Chain A
Amino acid sequence: MDLASVEQEEDTQKGKFLTFQIGNETYGIEIRFVTEIIGLQPITEVPELPEYIKGIINLRGKIIPVMDVRLRFGKPFREYNDRTCVVVVDCGNLAVGLIVDSVAEVLTIADEDIVPPPDVSRGRNKYIKGIGKVAGEVKLLLDCNRLLLEDMIEELAQL
């Protein structure tokens, strides 16, 4: 692929977010991180991992871990149903499936409609990169890197 088409592709992906539902909130994730959306697969549990990593799944021969985003955000566990989806994201060569309540749509949010998250001293919004406003609704835009890597950074810091 030459440079021009790469740029073009980045252009078409720019400002687009896949939105999904967790509880009452709508979250958005940059479309360029998303590889695919699949239904729930049988999960193989792996011992000794944090609770929010439910285990590993077989994605057509590729084995990837799945993360329950609900548990990751410290919300109570909810039984999976037919609306439950796995959003496969690829971020920094790490492929991870995100288990979400349901997937909503792909939205284009212009830069000027995104505001930085308010400074909450408790630091609970560490995964949120910005807040998007679309037709009077609020979408919480996730920072993919932090969502996947934050724990490791914390763990490393503890060492």
Chain B
Amino acid sequence: MTGYLAPDSLLEMYIFETGGLTEQLEQTALLLEKNDDFPASAIHEIFRIMHTIKGSSGMMGYTGVASLAHAIEDVFALLRSGTSPPPWSTSHVTDLLFESIDFMKTELAAVKSGCAPNGDSADLIGRLHSLLHAITTNNQSALSPSEAESLQAYRAVIHFENGCEMENIRAYNVLHQLQDLAETCTSIPENIIQHPDSIKQIREEGFTIHLQSRASYDELHAHLMSTIFISKLELTMIEKENEPATAAAETAASDVSEAAPDAVPEPQQLQQPAAANTPLSPTTSGAGMPSKISVQISKLDKLMDLVGEMVIAEAMVTQNPDLVGLELEHFGKAARHLRKITKELQDVVMSVRMVPLQGTFQKMNRIVRDMSRKLDKEVSLVLIGEETEVDKTVVEQISDPLMHIMRNAMDHGIEPASVRQQTGKPAIGTVTLEAKNAGGDVLIIIKDDGKGLSKEKLLRKAMEGGLLHRPAEDLTDKEIYQFIFHPGFSTKEQISEFSGRGVGMDVVTRNIESIGGSVSVDSKEGEGTAVTLKIPLTLAIIDGMIVKVGSSRYTIPTSVIKESFRPVARDLITDPDGNEMIMVRGQCYPILRLHRHYKAQTDITLFTEGILVMVEDKEKVLCLFADELLGEQQVVVKPLPAYVQRMKRIEGLGGCTLLGDGNISLILDVGGLLQA
């Protein structure tokens, strides 16, 4: 099949489905490997997944993936019918499976980024084939009876779920997938792709296939049931003597359907008595399960924007200056009601965007597996609190950092088994990945029971790299550990495949900071290291302190504010370079005049007339000078317009927001201000 039949929505569906399937596959494969066993259910599952991937990839024209999936499917088809005990090593199969999964993931990533997938799966397929060959020779006896089975005629009527769209393409896909199992296939309606009325017909009457196959009834039934969005399947065996009748009825039926697509061909006379016993297949979404739909994230963003605007609009109405001084009992009541509903709506929209960390956490299983093998260290991964939910955009941002930290923990942290036994630790290392809620933040803690960080080593490296700006004795433990986040910093003498280049941890800090989070390390030499990621629950709405500078309003995220106060003249200091500072409880802090930094016009330029807001970011403290505080409120963070962003990256600005009176307020990025 070529790609021209693939409209965007189909492509999206493909990416979504295949992405989900490969992840499911990976989990199954990990489980298989862990238990060193191939239970029938797992084999069936892998077979089904491969089959679906093969079909949809074939339909989209991604032959590389399709043929690879086909090869794996062949292997598992054999395993399925095979005898026990299996004459092959499980790890050999899972290794190949993992490599195939990686290949598919790469291809999928290529599709996602809009390129044509162009990977060459020939090598993998070749190895799969040789595996297949090895199994077949061992398995000859088990296979022959099924080969010997004669052809059996079937009739299948498929109904798709309402509103699944593109029924004709889905139907074509079914036919396409049947090609391996069935000998001759005819369908009603015919010419599904070209025929303009075929969608309508399939929707109304279902999609009927006549086929002959060697497969057993159950096999065929399971195969057809794996079709995506299937809602109803009637599969009937047709006995040999009925065949001529079937053919006749078939041609008649297709004639009818071509002449008048609305007329229903009467199928009753074809049905075998046995068909009465055919159970109506349950729909794919079980009745007991909470039903789910997938929504485009852009739509949720839009919804979030709208709700944010509504919050502002509500403030505009209820705090309208025209109302000042009026006694409006009913209005007040109605306004409170409105406020309650908008608040609830806001909470719901926020919760819709929240996803559990489970998927991200489980991906780490794979990394642990790969690295355990390569480094020859046995490590068990403990997951705690994977049900913790964070904003969708946050999840996307933490996957990479987590991976780097995991790698570091396994490569640098956990010692080889021999060393561990000498120090009296269990031979198998443990890495704990824990997530928990802490106020408006989520903490993710990655803890290993390895050798910990060596302070002396870190200090020596820091000295060599010229990172030490203060005498080593003055540094707290935390500050010393923080060195590992410097770009290019690595205590490792040898660069390995996984770590040692000193880029990983730098990426961690940058990614986490870009979503407003922070990273800290704690360690005890000989006992292990814990890396804590503190990330905000959501990025879209923050608590902010609104400050006034002249006619401008700025918003300072409440999370960074330590205190605010009106300075006394005798605490103010100006050094010979003109830097202004203030003494608070014996400590000296620099002052940044917001009006000067943002070139805003204001009459208040004397510190004693305005207010100082002390902010902290990564243990650096700065006092911001503003005219006055206007109050604290939740604000909806909006990015600066694309045009401005493209023009320049402005340090110290985190975005902007709309205030209740419709004015714009710039949100300060304290981290950026401290660097400037």
When chains A and B are docked, how far (Å) is the Cα of A42 from the Cα of B644?
A: 18
CB-CB under 8 A for A56 and B656, given A44-B552, A61-B312, A65-B641: yes
The listed residue (A50, A58, A96) touching B662 by CB distance below 8 A is A58
- Minimal beta-carbon separation of B577 from chain A (angstroms): 22
Q: At the interface, yes or no: A37 with Cβ under 8 Å from chain B?
A: no
- Minimal beta-carbon separation of A142 from chain B (angstroms): 16
Number of interface residues of A (CB under 8 A): 24
- Minimal beta-carbon separation of B346 from chain A (angstroms): 15
Instruction: Say yes or no: B641 contacts A64, CB within 8 Å.
Output: yes
- Minimal beta-carbon separation of A94 from chain B (angstroms): 5
Q: At the interface, yes or no: A81 with Cβ under 8 Å from chain B?
A: no
Q: At the interface, yes or no: B604 with Cβ under 8 Å from chain A?
A: no
User: With a CB–CB cut-off of 8 A, which chain A residues contact B666?
Assistant: 44, 46
Instruction: Say yes or no: A61 contacts B658, CB within 8 Å.
Output: yes
Which of B230-238, B594-602, B610-618 has 4 or more CB atoms under 8 Å from chain A? B594-602
Q: At the interface, yes or no: A45 with Cβ under 8 Å from chain B?
A: yes
Instruction: Say yes or no: B664 contacts A58, CB within 8 Å.
Output: yes
The listed residue (B644, B658, B662, B663) touching A46 by CB distance below 8 A is B644
- Minimal beta-carbon separation of A91 from chain B (angstroms): 10
User: With a CB–CB cut-off of 8 A, which chain B residues contact A42?
Assistant: 663
The listed residue (A57, A58, A96) touching B643 by CB distance below 8 A is A96
Q: At the interface, yes or no: A93 with Cβ under 8 Å from chain B?
A: yes
- Minimal beta-carbon separation of B659 from chain A (angstroms): 9
The listed residue (B312, B642, B647, B650) touching A47 by CB distance below 8 A is B650
Q: At the interface, yes or no: A159 with Cβ under 8 Å from chain B?
A: no
Which residues of A, 112-159, contact B by the 8 Å Cβ criterion?
Answer: 148, 151-152, 155
Which residues of B, 194-212, contact A by the 8 Å Cβ criterion?
Answer: none
User: With a CB–CB cut-off of 8 A, which chain A residues contact B664?
Assistant: 44, 56-58, 63
- Minimal beta-carbon separation of A63 from chain B (angstroms): 6
B631-644 interface code vs A (CB 8 A; 1 in, 0 out): 00000001011111
User: With a CB–CB cut-off of 8 A, which chain A residues contact B644?
Assistant: 46, 49, 53, 56, 65
Q: At the interface, yes or no: A95 with Cβ under 8 Å from chain B?
A: yes
Instruction: Say yes or no: B599 contacts A45, CB within 8 Å.
Output: yes
Instruction: Say yes or no: B663 contacts A94, CB within 8 Å.
Output: no
Which residues of A, 45-90, contact B by the 8 Å Cβ criterion?
Answer: 45-50, 53, 56-58, 61, 63-65
Instruction: Say yes or no: A152 contacts B647, CB within 8 Å.
Output: yes
- Minimal beta-carbon separation of A61 from chain B (angstroms): 4
When chains A and B are docked, how far (Å) is the Cα of A93 from the Cα of B646?
A: 12
The listed residue (B643, B651, B656, B658) touching A94 by CB distance below 8 A is B643
- Minimal beta-carbon separation of B55 from chain A (angstroms): 32
Instruction: Say yes or no: B653 contacts A44, CB within 8 Å.
Output: no
User: With a CB–CB cut-off of 8 A, which chain B residues contact A148?
Assistant: 643
CB-CB under 8 A for A50 and B647, given A44-B552, A63-B658: yes
When chains A and B are docked, how far (Å) is the Cα of A151 from the Cα of B666?
A: 24
B649-676 interface code vs A (CB 8 A; 1 in, 0 out): 0110100101000111110000000000
User: With a CB–CB cut-off of 8 A, which chain B residues contact A96?
Assistant: 641, 643
- Minimal beta-carbon separation of A145 from chain B (angstroms): 13
Which residues of A, 24-52, contact B by the 8 Å Cβ criterion?
Answer: 42, 44-50
When chains A and B are docked, how far (Å) is the Cα of A14 from the Cα of B70?
A: 53
User: With a CB–CB cut-off of 8 A, which chain B residues contact A50?
Assistant: 647
Of chain B, the residue at the smallest CB distance from A64 is B641
When chains A and B are docked, how far (Å) is the Cα of A63 from the Cα of B644?
A: 11
Instruction: Say yes or no: A61 contacts B647, CB within 8 Å.
Output: no
Instruction: Say yes or no: A45 contacts B600, CB within 8 Å.
Output: yes
- Minimal beta-carbon separation of B310 from chain A (angstroms): 9
Instruction: Say yes or no: B662 contacts A47, CB within 8 Å.
Output: no
Number of interface residues of B (CB under 8 A): 27
Instruction: Say yes or no: B598 contacts A45, CB within 8 Å.
Output: yes
Q: At the interface, yes or no: B314 with Cβ under 8 Å from chain A?
A: no
When chains A and B are docked, how far (Å) is the Cα of A93 from the Cα of B641?
A: 11
User: With a CB–CB cut-off of 8 A, which chain B residues contact A64?
Assistant: 641, 643
Instruction: Say yes or no: A49 contacts B552, CB within 8 Å.
Output: no
Q: At the interface, yes or no: B374 with Cβ under 8 Å from chain A?
A: no
User: With a CB–CB cut-off of 8 A, which chain B residues contact A63?
Assistant: 638, 640-641, 656, 658, 664
User: With a CB–CB cut-off of 8 A, which chain B residues contact A94?
Assistant: 641-643, 646
User: With a CB–CB cut-off of 8 A, which chain B residues contact A155?
Assistant: 647
When chains A and B are docked, how far (Å) is the Cα of A44 from the Cα of B648?
A: 17
User: With a CB–CB cut-off of 8 A, which chain B residues contact A93?
Assistant: 642
Instruction: Say yes or no: A61 contacts B309, CB within 8 Å.
Output: yes
User: With a CB–CB cut-off of 8 A, which chain A residues contact B663?
Assistant: 42, 44, 58
Of chain B, the residue at the smallest CB distance from A94 is B643
User: With a CB–CB cut-off of 8 A, which chain A residues contact B656?
Assistant: 44, 56, 63
When chains A and B are docked, how far (Å) is the Cα of A158 from the Cα of B656?
A: 29
When chains A and B are docked, how far (Å) is the Cα of A152 from the Cα of B653?
A: 20
> Which of B600, B644, B662 is packed against the most chain A CB atoms within 10 Å?
B644
Of chain B, the residue at the smallest CB distance from A67 is B643
User: With a CB–CB cut-off of 8 A, which chain A residues contact B600?
Assistant: 45
Instruction: Say yes or no: B309 contacts A47, CB within 8 Å.
Output: no
- Minimal beta-carbon separation of B570 from chain A (angstroms): 32
When chains A and B are docked, how far (Å) is the Cα of A64 from the Cα of B552?
A: 17
Which residues of B, 453-492, contact A by the 8 Å Cβ criterion?
Answer: none
When chains A and B are docked, how far (Å) is the Cα of A8 from the Cα of B68?
A: 48
Of chain B, the residue at the smallest CB distance from A44 is B664
B345-370 interface code vs A (CB 8 A; 1 in, 0 out): 00000000000000000000000000
When chains A and B are docked, how far (Å) is the Cα of A60 from the Cα of B638?
A: 14
- Minimal beta-carbon separation of B635 from chain A (angstroms): 13
- Minimal beta-carbon separation of A77 from chain B (angstroms): 15
Of chain A, the residue at the smallest CB distance from B601 is A45
- Minimal beta-carbon separation of B305 from chain A (angstroms): 8
- Minimal beta-carbon separation of A45 from chain B (angstroms): 7
Of chain B, the residue at the smallest CB distance from A155 is B647
Of chain A, the residue at the smallest CB distance from B313 is A61
The listed residue (A48, A57, A95) touching B650 by CB distance below 8 A is A48
CB-CB under 8 A for A151 and B658, given A56-B641, A56-B664, A64-B641: no
Instruction: Say yes or no: A47 contacts B599, CB within 8 Å.
Output: yes
User: With a CB–CB cut-off of 8 A, which chain A residues contact B640?
Assistant: 46, 56, 63
User: With a CB–CB cut-off of 8 A, which chain B residues contact A95?
Assistant: 641, 643
Instruction: Say yes or no: A58 contacts B658, CB within 8 Å.
Output: yes
Which of B's residues lie within 8 Å of A, judged by CB?
Answer: 305, 309, 312, 552, 597-600, 638, 640-644, 646-648, 650-651, 653, 656, 658, 662-666
Closest CB pairs A-B (n = 4): A44-B664, A61-B309, A94-B643, A47-B598
Q: 17 extra interchain contacts, Cβ-Cβ under 8 A, other than A45-B552, A63-B656?
A: A42-B663, A44-B552, A44-B663, A44-B664, A46-B640, A46-B650, A48-B651, A49-B650, A50-B647, A58-B663, A61-B312, A64-B643, A65-B643, A65-B644, A94-B641, A94-B643, A155-B647
A-B contact pairs, 17 of them (CB 8 A): A44-B656, A44-B663, A44-B666, A47-B599, A47-B650, A47-B653, A49-B650, A53-B647, A56-B640, A56-B656, A56-B664, A58-B658, A58-B664, A63-B664, A65-B641, A95-B643, A148-B643
